[in-house]
């Protein structure tokens, strides 16, 4: 047999390098999912045992004016900004965002991606409701609520669903963006939006800080699991690999 030319050897090395990076990425994603689940379980255990009560109260009260618990710290316009930000994690906004993305994907004939987006957000919503009713933690009663609430407190549904929707969408866009700085920008924006929604829930007094932390942890773990599922389906040829 003829010996491999240097070009062929180099090509083989490049392919091996890409495959190694892919395998490491998959392993890292799985480890993060497992770590997120473990972190959520540990946090839930601390909450159920009442170990986080003192810290929750301290943080919640630190966001209120001294001597007047009805008044959040900062000017009135900042409180209004927090209401606007908290709406980004609300059901109406996330449903409209999801439908808009799904509509775009369907028009691009990417039915597999559209179905994955629906499953990601819909599954995250169902998981959030199950966890809420399972733990049934009361809402904070130390300060007046700055937003109307109907469900239990743990985990924060706004924080969890914001993580699910924004991180899934951000991951989808980053996957098909070639430039590294654009990938970083998209993923950073997704993370910042998720963090702002969570902070607004504590600022408005409708959640304990540990509710928000649990929502972030559960939502990010679910989003990572959806990313891994998308990668696996793409490699099996059951979902589209590009947005063009």
Does residue 241 lie within any of the structural domains? no
pTM, entire model: 0.84
Does residue 140 lie within any of the structural domains? yes
Q: How far is CA 104 from CA 41, 90, 98, 117, 182, in A?
A: 37, 21, 10, 11, 20
Does residue 183 lie within any of the structural domains? yes
- Taking the CB of residue 54, how many other CB atoms lie within 10 A of it? 9
Structure tokens at 81: 């900004």
Does residue 198 lie within any of the structural domains? yes
For 184, residues 6+ apart whose C-beta sits below 8 A from its C-beta are none
Does residue 3 lie within any of the structural domains? no
Does residue 240 lie within any of the structural domains? no
CA–CA dist 78, 74 (Å, integer): 6
CA–CA dist 213, 124 (Å, integer): 16
Range of the structural domain that residue 148 is part of = 9-235
Q: How far is CA 22 from CA 15, 92, 146, 197, in A?
A: 11, 36, 45, 32
Cβ-count burial of 238 within 10 angstroms (0-12 exposed, 13-18 middle, 19+ buried)?
Answer: exposed
Does residue 231 lie within any of the structural domains? yes
Does residue 38 lie within any of the structural domains? yes
Tens-digit pLDDT string for the chain (244 aa)? 455 555 555 544 454 444 444 556 567 767 778 888 899 999 999 999 989 999 999 999 999 988 888 889 999 999 999 999 999 999 999 999 999 989 988 998 888 888 888 999 999 999 999 999 999 999 998 888 888 888 899 999 999 999 999 998 888 887 777 788 888 999 999 999 999 999 999 999 999 999 999 999 999 999 988 888 877 777 776 666 665 5
Structure confidence at residue 53 (pLDDT): 93
Structure tokens at 116: 């994955």
In which element (H, E) is residue 71 found? Answer: strand 68-72
Structure confidence at residue 108 (pLDDT): 83
Provide the domain count of the chain: 1
User: Which of the residues are catalytic?
Assistant: 158, 207
Structure confidence at residue 13 (pLDDT): 47
Structure confidence at residue 19 (pLDDT): 41
């Amino acid at each position: 047999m003829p010996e491999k030319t240097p070009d062929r050897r180099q090509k083989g090395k490049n392919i091996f390098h890409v495959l190694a990076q892919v395998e490491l990425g998959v392993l890292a994603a799985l480890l993060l999912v497992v770590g997120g689940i473990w972190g959520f379980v540990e946090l839930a255990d601390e909450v159920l045992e009442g170990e986080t009560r003192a810290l929750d109260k301290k943080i919640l009260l630190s966001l209120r004016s001294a001597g007047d618990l009805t008044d959040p710290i900062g000017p009135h316009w900042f409180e209004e900004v927090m209401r606007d930000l908290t709406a980004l994690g609300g059901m109406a906004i996330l449903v409209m965002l999801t439908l808009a993305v799904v509509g775009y994907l369907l028009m691009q004939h990417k039915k597999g991606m559209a179905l994955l987006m629906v499953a990601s957000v819909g599954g995250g919503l169902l998981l959030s409701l199950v966890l809420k009713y399972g733990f049934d933690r009361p809402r904070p009663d130390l300060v007046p609520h700055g937003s109307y609430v109907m469900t239990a407190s743990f985990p924060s549904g706004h924080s969890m669903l914001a993580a699910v929707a924004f991180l899934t969408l951000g991951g989808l866009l980053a996957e098909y963006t070639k430039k590294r700085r654009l990938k970083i920008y998209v993923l950073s924006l997704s993370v910042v939006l998720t963090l702002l929604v969570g902070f607004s829930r504590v600022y408005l007094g409708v959640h304990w800080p540990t509710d928000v932390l649990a929502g972030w942890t559960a939502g990010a773990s679910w989003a990572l699991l959806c990313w891994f599922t998308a990668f696996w389906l793409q490699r099996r040829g059951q979902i589209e690999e590009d947005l063009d």
